[in-house]
């Protein structure tokens, strides 16, 4: 397929033979020469290479589960709330008895949770006290383009060289090219602070915010720049779902630690100031050997013998999970899915296992009523091995009254787009390839260029997108949610229901999604949310006109 195809599209006249060829992950990887190809063939359950910690690791289930604090607004009016967040470096205890330097929002990892109401606007002033530029993206937010966190809309730290009119905010003129070598004439750069405006005219759900700086998203998230944002409304609260202390946000990540307790990461430039990218063994993605939940290693949480609502985010750079709740005597508990990335499903779906790719969120209810007091339920990862096969545990501490319920009808406001509503169909291939003489990851045969428009669509248009993958690619669309129509020509899987903003493409797979580009005009992105793939070119521009 030609690399210069307009609008980032692959020709719709793909023959079946060529389509199947796209799915040949080994063939594509062999062509691109990625050294990880053999490992990917042997272990198709993930994409990436694992770092090994050099510090002794604690036993599983030895520390309590932290629950991120809820941030309070600095001011409130009758119609809006305003928050302030400082991005700063701290030293925290993640592994017991070990200090770890972190980049944080408000001094904590994860950052503080923002709780907001549907339709009530908020603004968040971010102050950058870190040693590098940053960008904040509210992942899953229906946000005007000026506040979406475009990768070149930098907030420079004090003392950073003037980069007006340059590309990425790197240190010197000669280093401005970054991964793509392309400038961005539309970049909006501020110094020290930036205020992001969020209308929150969207369905209640759990979003997350994270750094989105051009070429350096992966190491910035790895160092701690991630936090949760929950949108609520009256209708959802009236359903009777588990609430209060029986509603648990769970941010799952993986990390690895150096001998001195610092986070280890294979950056080509550990200062994250000039040269982007990772060492060759990790080009397909960086995996850690320590599983953290809300920033704690393999934690345990004390629960009642009652229903709990688990709001799960996979905030790992590249690791995929397949979660299962298992009692110590081997009995599996149901994972009742009630929501996806963009809010509640139409009705509950009962699962035994839940696959979750980087950046996906799932809202599930687990009932501990059938577990004996003192019993333990482990949340395990069936895609892991050894220590990465464990995630966390729940210890049933007591019998308790439970007036929560799971209604048969959860939501009636899901969009009912049909194929016949689509004004166009587009095809995109996500694959490894060559860029600027090196190895990278491409969308439609091309690496990301902030100055190029890859897709242009009109506000209100409905489109069907067909997404093809060589290896695992969790594909994320900014500003809009979508529905999954099919996988490999077959119906969606059980967990694919509802409105999503990230879809996990499996090796050799083609998936169809449908969406309506409503909300706001402006420049947005779609990209792979394997953060290393994203940093190495696997993004494209979406212009809504």
Asked if residue 7 has pLDDT above 60, the reply is no
Dihedral in degrees, nearest 10, Cα atoms 137, 141, 145, 148: -10
Q: What is the pLDDT of residues 58-111, one digit of tens each?
A: 999 999 999 999 999 999 999 999 999 999 999 999 999 999 999 999 999 999
Q: Which residues, including other chains, have CB under 8 Å from residue 385's CB and lie 6 or more apart?
A: none
Tell me how far the alpha carbon of residue 388 is from its chain's centroid. Answer: 19
Q: Which residue has the tokens 């083609």?
A: 510
pLDDT at 46: 66
Asked if residue 175 has pLDDT above 90, the reply is no
Contact 491, 439 (CB under 8 A): no
Over the chain, what is the mean pLDDT?
A: 90
pLDDT at 232: 98
Asked if residue 24 has pLDDT above 80, the reply is no
pLDDT at 9: 37
> Cα–Cα–Cα angle for 445, 273, 290, nearest 5°?
80
Asked if residue 536 has pLDDT above 60, the reply is yes
Asked if residue 33 has pLDDT above 70, the reply is no
What DSSP line would sit under 178-225, residue for residue? TTTT---TT---EESEEEEEE---S-SEEEEEEE--TTTHHHHHHTT-
Asked if residue 167 has pLDDT above 50, the reply is no
Give the chain's domains with CATH numbers. 6-50+414-544 (2.60.40.420), 75-234 (2.60.40.420), 244-398 (2.60.40.420)
Q: What is the pLDDT of residues 494-503, one digit of tens each?
A: 999 999 999 9
- How many Å apart are CA 482 and CA 205, to the nearest integer? 14
Q: Which of 506, 516, 429 lies closest to 466 in space, CA to CA? A: 429
pLDDT at 45: 54
Contact 191, 155 (CB under 8 A): yes
Q: What is the pLDDT of residues 355-394, one digit of tens each?
A: 999 999 999 999 999 999 999 999 999 999 999 999 999 9
Asked if residue 330 has pLDDT above 60, the reply is yes
* Poorest-pLDDT segment among 12-21, 151-160, 365-374, 452-461: 12-21
Determine if residue 528 is left, alpha or beta; phi over 0 gives left, psi from -120 to 50 gives alpha, anything else beta.
beta
Asked whether the bond before 292 is cis by omega within 30 degrees of 0, the reply is no
Strands (E), 129-177: 136-139, 155-156
Helix, strand, coil percentages, rounded to 5, for the chain: 10, 40, 50
pLDDT at 207: 98
Burial of 158 (0-12, 13-18, 19+ CB in 10 A): exposed
Structure tokens of 433?
A: 């390839």
pLDDT at 164: 52
- How many Å apart are CA 221 and CA 341, to the nearest integer? 19
pLDDT at 303: 98
Asked if residue 42 has pLDDT above 60, the reply is no
Burial of 364 (0-12, 13-18, 19+ CB in 10 A): buried
Structure tokens of 155?
A: 């907030």
Q: Dihedrals φ, ψ of 252, to 5°?
A: -100, 125
The 10 Å Cβ neighbour count of residue 346 is 14
The distance in angstroms from the start CA to the end CA of the chain is 27
- How many Å apart are CA 144 and CA 321, to the nearest integer? 32
The sign of the torsion formed by the CA atoms of 367, 371, 376, 377 equals negative
Per-residue pLDDT band for 292 (boundaries 50, 70, 90) equals very high
Q: Which has more pLDDT, 183 or 258? A: 258
Asked if residue 325 has pLDDT above 70, the reply is yes
Q: What is the β-pairing status of strands 247-255 and 307-314? A: parallel
Give SS3 for 175: helix
Q: What is the pLDDT of residues 471-505, one digit of tens each?
A: 999 999 999 999 999 999 999 999 999 999 999 99
pLDDT at 177: 44
Per-residue pLDDT band for 214 (boundaries 50, 70, 90) equals very high
Per-residue pLDDT band for 16 (boundaries 50, 70, 90) equals very low
Radius of gyration of the chain (CA): 22
Q: What is the β-pairing status of strands 522-528 and 539-544? A: antiparallel
Mean pLDDT for 192-205 is 98
pLDDT at 437: 79
Asked if residue 300 has pLDDT above 70, the reply is yes
Determine if residue 167 is left, alpha or beta; phi over 0 gives left, psi from -120 to 50 gives alpha, anything else beta.
alpha
Contact 512, 465 (CB under 8 A): yes
Q: Which has more pLDDT, 33 or 307? A: 307
Mean pLDDT for 4-30 is 33
Mean pLDDT for 143-159 is 97
pLDDT at 172: 34
- How many Å apart are CA 114 and CA 169, to the nearest integer? 28
pLDDT at 169: 36
- How many Å apart are CA 121 and CA 200, to the nearest integer? 6
pLDDT at 466: 98
């Amino acid at each position: 397929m030609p690399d210069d195809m307009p609008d980032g599209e692959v020709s719709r006249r793909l023959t079946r033979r060529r389509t199947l060829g796209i799915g040949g992950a080994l063939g594509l990887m062999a062509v691109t020469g990625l050294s990880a190809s053999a490992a990917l063939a042997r272990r198709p359950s993930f994409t990436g290479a694992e770092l090994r910690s050099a510090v002794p690791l604690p036993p599983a289930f030895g520390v309590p589960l932290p629950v991120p604090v809820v941030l309070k607004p600095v001011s409130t009016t009758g119609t809006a709330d305003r928050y302030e967040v400082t991005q700063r470096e701290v030293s925290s205890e993640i592994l017991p008895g070990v200090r770890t330097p972190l980049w944080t929002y408000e001094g904590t990892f994860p950052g503080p949770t923002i709780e907001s109401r549907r339709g009530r606007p908020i603004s968040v002033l971010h102050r950058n006290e870190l040693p590098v530029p940053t960008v904040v993206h509210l992942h899953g937010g229906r946000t005007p383009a000026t506040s979406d966190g475009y990768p070149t809309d930098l907030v420079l730290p004090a003392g950073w060289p003037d980069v007006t009119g340059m590309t990425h905010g790197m240190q010197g003129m000669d280093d401005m090219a970054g991964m793509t070598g392309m400038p961005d004439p539309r970049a909006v750069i501020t110094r020290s602070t930036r205020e992001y405006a969020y209308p929150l005219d969207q369905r209640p759900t759990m979003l997350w915010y994270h750094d989105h700086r051009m070429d350096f998203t992966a190491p910035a998230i790895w160092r701690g720049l991630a936090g949760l944002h929950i949108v609520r409304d009256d209708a959802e609260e009236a359903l009777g779902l588990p609430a209060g202390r029986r509603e648990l946000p769970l941010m799952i990540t993986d990390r690895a630690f150096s001998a001195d307790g610092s986070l280890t990461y294979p950056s080509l430039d550990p200062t994250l100031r000039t040269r982007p990218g990772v060492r060759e063994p990790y080009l397909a993605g960086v995996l850690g050997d320590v599983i953290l939940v809300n920033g704690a290693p393999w934690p345990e949480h004390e629960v009642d013998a009652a229903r709990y609502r688990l709001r799960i985010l996979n905030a790992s750079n590249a690791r995929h999970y397949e979660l299962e709740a298992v009692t110590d005597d081997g009995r599996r508990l149901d994972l009742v899915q009630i929501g996806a990335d963009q809010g509640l499903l139409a009705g509950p779906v009962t699962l035994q296992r839940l696959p979750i790719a980087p950046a996906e969120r799932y809202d599930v209810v687990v009932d501990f009523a059938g577990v004996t007091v003192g019993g333990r339920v482990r949340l395990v990862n069936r895609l892991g091995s050894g220590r990465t096969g464990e995630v966390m545990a729940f210890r049933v501490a007591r019998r308790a009254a439970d007036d929560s319920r799971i209604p048969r009808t959860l939501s009636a406001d899901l969009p009912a787009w049909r194929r016949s509503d689509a004004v166009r169909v587009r095809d995109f291939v996500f694959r490894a390839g060559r860029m600027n003489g090196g190895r990278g990851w491409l969308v439609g045969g091309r690496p990301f260029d902030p100055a190029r428009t890859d897709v242009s669509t009109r506000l209100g248009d409905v489109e069907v997108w067909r997404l093809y993958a060589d290896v695992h690619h969790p594909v994320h669309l900014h500003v809009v949610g979508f529905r999954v129509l099919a996988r490999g020509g077959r119906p969606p899987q059980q967990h694919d229901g509802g409105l999503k903003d990230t879809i996990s493409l499996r090796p050799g797979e083609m998936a169809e999604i449908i969406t309506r580009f409503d909300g706001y005009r402006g420049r947005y992105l779609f990209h792979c949310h394997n953060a290393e793939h994203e940093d190495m070119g696997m993004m494209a521009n979406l212009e809504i006109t």
